[in-house]
Amino acid sequence: MADLEVLLFDVDGTIANTERDGHRIAFNEAFAEEGLDWNWSVELYGKLLAVTGGKERIKHYLQHFNTEFQLPADGDAFITHLHKTKTAHYTRMMAEGAIPLRSGIKRLLDESREAGIRLGIATTTTPENVTALLRSGLGDEGESWFEVVAAGDIVPKKKPAPDIYIWAMEKLGVKPDVCAALEDSHNGIMSVNDADIPTVIITVNGYTEHEAFPGANLVVDQLGDPGTPCKALSGSCEGRSYVDLDLIRSLHAG
C-alpha cells in the first residue's frame, strides 16, 4: 500500500455531533420562522437521516412523512428558501458555540499538520455550515488547515454517492491509495468505498451506532484523547487508548 499522505474528514457526526442538537434544531427553528407547524423529533430525525442533504431531506419528509402538505406551485423555490432560513439558524448556533468538536479531533489535526499530512473535508452539508463550525471549534484560522473543503451542492449527487470524495481528491491531485477517511455513518462509508479509498475509520454516534460499516478498518465510539480512551467496536486500536496518526498509518499499511 502507498504511504499515507492525506486525511479526509466528514463533518456532521465525525468532526462534531451536529445532527441531533444542531441541524435538527435549526430545521425546527426555520419551520417555526416560516409559519409551518412541522416539528422533527429526535426519533423522526433519525429516520430522515437516511437521506443526506438538507433540501433533499425536506423533500423526503414531504414525500414520506407529511404527504398531506400542499407544496406551493414552485416547490423547489419554497424548499430552497426554507433551507436558507435553516442555514441562517444553524450558522448562528455554531457562532454561539452550541456544539463542541468531538474528542480527539483537534489533537489529530494538530498531529497531522505537524507530520505534514495533507487535510481535506468531504461533506454533504452547506459550505457556510463548515466555516461556522470550524471557526467556532478551531478559531478563525481553522478552516485554512484544510487544503480542500468539498461541501454541499458542488457535486450533483450527495453521499452515499462517491462524488464528493472524488471531487476532493481531484482538487488535491491525489489518488485514493494515499488517503484515509474519517466517517460516522453508513451513507458516509458507502461514499468512501465507492471512491476506492482503502482506509476508513468510523466514530459512531447515537444515530449511527447500529448501522453497518462494511470495509471499515476500525469502528470506535470516539477518537479519544489522553484521559478519554476510545473503545473499539470493530477492529483493533492495537493497544492504544486513543486513535492517533501512528494507528491510522498502521491501519493504512494493512
Which phi-psi region, left, alpha or beta, contains residue 224 (left: φ > 0; alpha: ψ -120 to 50)? left
Segment contacting ligand XBP by CB under 6 A, of 6-14, 35-43, 217-225, 230-238:
6-14
| 12 sits near ligand XBP (criterion: CB under 6 A) | yes
What is the spatial distance between Cα 108 and Cα 28, in angstroms, rounded to a whole number?
33
Whichever of 83 and 118 has its CB closer to ligand XBP, that residue is: 83
CB 165 within 8 A of CB 8: yes
The C-alpha cell that represents 43 in the structure block:
426519533
Strand partners, 149: 121
Report d(CA 143, CA 132) in Å as an integer: 9
Q: Does 159 bind ligand XBP (CB under 6 A)?
A: yes
Cβ atoms within 10 Å, residue 164: 27
The footprint of Mg ion on residues 186-205 (CB under 5 A) is 188
What are the angstrom distances between the C-alpha of 43 and each of 14, 65, 72, 186?
20, 13, 28, 18
Active site residue 153: no
Residue 53 binds Mg ion, judged by CB under 5 A: no
What count of other Cβ atoms lies within 10 Å of the Cβ of residue 110? 12
**Stretches 49-57, 194-202, 211-219, 232-240: which one binds ligand XBP (CB under 6 A)?**
49-57
**184 is an active site residue:** no
Written as nine digits, the cell of 123 is 461533506
**Does 185 contact ligand XBP by CB under 6 A?**
yes
Which residue's C-beta sits nearest to ligand XBP?
Answer: 54
CB closer to ligand XBP, 112 vs 185 = 185
The answer to whether residue 54 forms part of the interface with Mg ion (CB under 5 A) is no
Burial class (CB in 10 A: 0-12, 13-18, 19+), 197: buried
CA 251 – CA 239 distance, rounded (Å): 13
Catalytic residue among 3, 10, 37, 221: 10
Binding-residue total with Mg ion (CB under 5 A): 6
**Contacting ligand XBP (CB under 6 A), which of 126, 136, 205, 208?**
126
Is residue 10 close enough to count as binding Mg ion by CB under 5 A?
yes
* Interface positions with Mg ion (CB under 5 A): 10, 12-13, 184-185, 188
Residues tagged active-site = 10, 12
* Interface positions with ligand XBP (CB under 6 A): 10-13, 19, 23, 52-54, 57, 123-126, 129, 159, 185, 187-188
